[in-house]
């Protein structure tokens, strides 16, 4: 049986081996970028049906960011939205026959988790400066500094293992069932796999938001005002992520 932890190179571009996961990733990137360009090419005041559907999606992403992070979504929309769209499309790319989702390989997930790790630093420094960002490590008390440092590494690792484990186990399970009982038996499992894929994309985006909002610290007045208005759920999610 093929090990799910390794990936074989299809061909070599110079010294760089190109695997199937990389090809699928490129295809998804082309799909998303071309789709984005085509849809936003003719934006109108009175939206067409297509524009309305995509405005709905952007609105949903915005409201999720507003609910989870208690901030204005504009600076984070692009990163979180792209993350969600990419993982969602990647997880559902099993629908195309013969395609294995790139998120079922460690490398793709490692790259995504690394992006979140860097984004936390980037958004944290942009919100509070270097000093403000470093001060978030000393919350709630300076005793927590080593723990917070370790946590920022381990949570990146757990983000990677979570996505990899979920998607890979789905693919692996379908492979095993397929080798045992041929034609129609794996279909319910594949449906379950689609559900898992959608939920994992959502979870990944939510956790990225939670980590980023943890690095923002208590900066903006809008944040505190929102919390005073009864948006107290933000702390509960953050507490759980720790």
Partner 1 sequence: MNWLAFCSIVSAAVAVCFGAIGPALAEGRAVAAAMDAIARQPEAAGTISRTLFVGLAMIETMAIYCLVIALLLLFANPLLK
- Give the residues lining the site for partner 1 (CB under 8 A): 3-6, 67-68, 158, 161-162, 164-166, 169, 199-200, 202-203, 206-207, 210, 233, 236-237, 240-241
CB of 63 to partner 1, least distance (A): 10
d(CA 156, CA 16): 26
Q: How would DSSP label each residue in 180-201? A: HS-SSTHHHHHHHHHHHHHHHH
CB of 138 to partner 1, least distance (A): 24
d(CA 208, CA 200): 12
Closer CB to partner 1, residue 51 or residue 158?
A: 158
d(CA 125, CA 215): 8
Pull the structure tokens for residue 13: 């571009």
Give whole-number Cα distances, 2 to 6, 8, 70, 185, 197, in Å. 8, 10, 45, 21, 22
CB of 41 to partner 1, least distance (A): 34
CB of 200 to partner 1, least distance (A): 8
Closer CB to partner 1, residue 3 or residue 46?
A: 3
Closer CB to partner 1, residue 89 or residue 208?
A: 208
């Amino acid at each position: 049986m093929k090990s799910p932890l390794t990936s074989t190179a299809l061909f070599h571009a110079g010294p760089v081996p190109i695997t199937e996961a990389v090809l699928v990733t490129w295809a998804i990137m082309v799909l998303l970028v071309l789709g984005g360009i085509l849809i936003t090419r003719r934006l109108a005041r009175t939206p067409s049906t297509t524009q309305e559907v995509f405005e709905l999606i952007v609105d949903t992403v915005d409201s999720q960011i507003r609910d989870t992070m208690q901030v204005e979504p504009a600076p984070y929309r692009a990163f979180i939205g792209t993350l969600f769209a990419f993982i969602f499309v990647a997880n559902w790319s099993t629908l195309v026959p013969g395609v294995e989702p790139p998120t079922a390989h460690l490398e793709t997930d490692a790259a995504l988790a690394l992006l979140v790790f860097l984004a936390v630093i980037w958004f944290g420094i942009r919100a509070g400066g270097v000093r403000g960002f470093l001060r978030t490590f000393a919350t709630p008390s300076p005793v927590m500094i080593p723990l917070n440092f370790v946590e920022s590494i381990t949570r990146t690792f757990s983000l990677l293992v979570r996505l990899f484990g979920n998607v890979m186990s789905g693919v692996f399970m379908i492979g095993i069932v397929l080798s045992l009982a041929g034609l129609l038996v794996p279909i319910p499992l594949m449906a379950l796999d689609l559900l898992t894929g959608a939920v994992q994309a959502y979870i990944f985006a939510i956790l990225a938001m939670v980590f980023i909002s943890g690095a923002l610290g208590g900066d903006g007045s809008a944040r505190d005002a929102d919390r005073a208005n009864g948006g107290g759920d933000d702390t509960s999610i953050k507490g759980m992520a720790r």
